[in-house]
Amino acid sequence: KAGVTQTPRYLIKTRGQQVTLSCSPISGHRSVSWYQQTPGQGLQFLFEYFSETQRNKGNFPGRFSGRQFSNSRSEMNVSTLELGDSALYLCASSLRNAGIGSGYTFGSGTRLTVV
Amino acid sequence: AQSVTQLDSHVSVSEGTPVLLRCNYSSSYSPSLFWYVQHPNKGLQLLLKYTSAATLVKGINGFEAEFKKSETSFHLTKPSAHMSDAAEYFCVVSNNNDMRFGAGTRLTVKP
């Protein structure tokens, strides 16, 4: 079966713009989490959604937001982009209703570059 | 609060020799522990997980890890390294609503 699909794979944006990233989880998976990965900060948790509801949120400013649709697909949005937002954004999905930590399947990520 | 420390940022081994990637954790509760691997420009792949069953956990590609509560460790091992094992490895500690990643260990495998 298809894995976690993230689109686009690569993106270049200008400071001040906004961006929307998309994640399609594995079929049947209802939990989706987002992570930001940078060389300096490593992997940082952004937020987690289950059945269209945000269950957990990491320590990121309000410019970072997300949502989940009824088909479990998720989007994350970053407004007023800053150079420091350049990162690999990873999406992960899970089948179980057990919160984060039950073992996720990750997508290949979206590489965002802000210039 | 939870945290995880990967003791080595970079490990270099020769092909065919054993691999040891070290991970110590801190958790107020009985945690779940995971090892993930990330190849360049790829997402993370789950290698193995410990969820309070057997303390020796076997994963994919010949990797295994042993949970040692007294030492708060969850080291990853493999008897014989292969060139394809070269990647970044992440140790993760989780307690249902909180998941923390280690900083990662880059494994280099020399021919």
**Tell me, what's the pLDDT at A112?**
97
Residues facing B76 on adjacent strands: B21, B65
**Tell me, what's the pLDDT at A63?**
97
Q: Which long-range contacts (CB under 8 A, 24 or more apart) does A47-50 make?
A: A47/A76, A48/A99, A48/A100, A49/A74, A50/A97
Closest residue by Cα to residue A32 from A18, A45, A41: A45
Checking if the pLDDT of A8 tops 90, the result is yes
Distance CA A103, CA B69 (A): 20
Scan for tokens 């929307």, then name that residue: A20
Over residues B60-86, mean pLDDT: 95
Q: What are phi and psi of B8, to 5 degrees?
A: -130, 125
Distance CA A34, CA B107 (A): 25
To the nearest whole Å, the CA of A109 is away from the closest chain B CA by 6
**A56 CB neighbour count, 10 Å cutoff:** 17
**Alpha-carbon distance values, B100 to A55, A100, B3, B71 (Å):** 16, 10, 6, 19
Tokens of A89: 């954004």
**Tell me, what's the pLDDT at A55?**
85
Q: What are phi and psi of A85, to 5 degrees?
A: -80, -5
Checking if the pLDDT of B99 tops 90, the result is no
Mean per-residue pLDDT of chain B: 91
**Is B43 in contact with A56 (Cβ distance < 8 A)?**
no
Checking if the pLDDT of A97 tops 60, the result is no
**Is B97 in contact with A98 (Cβ distance < 8 A)?**
no
Checking if the pLDDT of A100 tops 60, the result is no
Distance CA B22, CA A38 (A): 22
Chain B residues interacting with chain A (CB cutoff of 8 angstroms)? 32, 34, 36, 41-46, 49, 90, 92, 94-99, 101-104
**Tell me, what's the pLDDT at B68?**
93
Look at phi and psi of residue B107 and say left if phi exceeds 0, alpha if psi is from -120 to 50, else beta. Answer: beta
* For the ranges A2-11, A96-105, B29-38, the one whose mean pLDDT is highest: A2-11
**Tell me, what's the pLDDT at A41?**
86
**Nearest CB neighbour to A100, from listed B45, B90, B94:** B94
Q: Which residue of A has its CA nearest to B92?
A: A101
- For chain B, give the percent of residues with pLDDT over 70: 98
**Alpha-carbon distance values, A73 to A51, A54, B60 (Å):** 10, 13, 28
Higher pLDDT, B96 or B101: B101
**Is B94 in contact with A105 (Cβ distance < 8 A)?**
no
**Nearest CB neighbour to B101, from listed A4, A42, A105:** A42
**Is A99 in contact with B96 (Cβ distance < 8 A)?**
yes
Over residues B63-79, mean pLDDT: 95
Condensed to tens digits (0 to 9), the pLDDT of residues A29-87 reads: 888 999 999 988 888 989 889 889 998 888 899 999 999 999 999 999 999 999 999 99
**Nearest CB neighbour to A90, from listed B44, B95, B99:** B44
